[in-house]
Amino acid sequence: MQRDVTVIVALVGTATAIAAEAATTTIPIVFSAGTDPVQAGIVPSLSRPGGNVTGVNYMASELGAKRLGLLREIVPSATRIGLLVNRANPISAESVIKDIERASAAGPRIDIHNAGTGSEIEATFAALAQNRTDALVIGADPLFFDRRVQLVLLATRHLLPAVYFQRGFVEVGGLVSYAASDAVRYREVGLYTGRILKGEKPADMPVAQPTKFELVVSLPAAKAIGTLLPPSLLARADEVIE
């Protein structure tokens, strides 16, 4: 039996929001985007999205400077830091690159590496080792989240301190993540969907911005790569995995 769609929920990143928007201009859409939705062309304004689209910007691509700062705190002697991006997702990749390069203007050298497949990820870590890279920032991208086990295993094998864009990486053995709270953003998406089902218009609902960010660190991961986490960082952490 075919039913009319009342609301489309585009939960998994910016690309799904763009695809949903391209599919309809009439059905209300609630998105969860990791890149600035104005920059991505999803809405014309955060405060007045207009049209049939609104949602949550969880800023996965906009926290690169903060993640770089955490790495420099963990590895203060670092002179060369790698940045992994997926240029097949240009909006997210360019946002991360600009944020990192702006933050590192007077800091360590940033080497940008591109990977869009599992084999390219393997090749990237070989290059990182060859270049004697001191630490690594994993740029926000759905592919990298899907490949999180591979990324964490490679970082551990190469004894490379890495910072990630979702806590799911730390849950599978990664060192540290800094991100908007998943629980909060999922709740916001649910609340927005409920409001639309009750008659509100997406055009009148400002895009929600994160109000809670989580720093998650793993002591077993630090031990596995021979890194001593600073007491000041542990004191600030929202969760310490032991």
Average pLDDT for 81-91: 94
Whether residue 50 is contained in a domain is answered as yes
Residue 186 resides in a domain? yes
- CA pair distance 56, 36, nearest whole angstrom: 10
Check: pTM over 0.85? Answer yes or no.
Answer: yes
Residue 120's domain is classified under what CATH number?
3.40.50.2300
47 and 97 fall within a common domain: no
My answer on whether 110 and 81 are in the same domain is: yes
Does 107 lie in the same domain as 32? no
Q: What is the CA radius of gyration of the chain?
A: 19
Q: Are residues 218 and 201 in the same domain?
A: no
Say what the pLDDT of residue 1 is: 42
Q: Which of 148, 134, 152, 216 is nearest to 181 (CA)?
A: 216
**Residue 1 placed within a domain:** no
Give pLDDT tens digits for 90-128.
888 998 999 898 888 778 999 999 999 999 999 999 999
Residue 62 near residue 36, CB atoms below 8 Å: yes
Would you say residue 3 lies in a domain? no
Q: Are residues 140 and 231 in the same domain?
A: yes
Residue ranges making up the domain that contains 20: 8-59+181-212
User: Do 113 and 142 lie in a common domain?
Assistant: yes
Rounded (5°) CA angle 169-176-189: 55
pLDDT digits (tens, 9 = 90+) for 172-201: 999 999 999 988 889 999 999 999 999 999
- Residues of the chain with pLDDT > 90, as a percent, come to 78
Q: Angle between the 90-103 and 64-74 helix axes, to the nearest 10 degrees? A: 50
Across 137-154, average pLDDT:
96
36 within a domain of the structure (yes/no):
yes
Q: Is residue 127 domain-shared with residue 195, that is, in the same domain? A: no
Q: What local confidence, expressed as pLDDT, does residue 3 receive? A: 64
Percent of the chain with pLDDT over 70: 99
Q: Indicate the number of domains in the chain.
A: 2
CA 81 – CA 74 distance, rounded (Å): 12
Do 33 and 129 fall into the same domain? Answer: no
Span 29-55, pLDDT tens digits: 999 998 899 988 999 999 999 999 999
Same domain, 73 and 26: no
30 lies in the same domain as 42: yes
2 lies in a domain? no
- Mean pLDDT (the chain) is 93
Residues 208 and 234 in one domain: no
At 159-169, the pLDDT tens digits run 999 999 999 99
Q: Are residues 66 and 114 in the same domain?
A: yes
Q: Rounded CA gap, 31 and 71, in Å?
A: 30
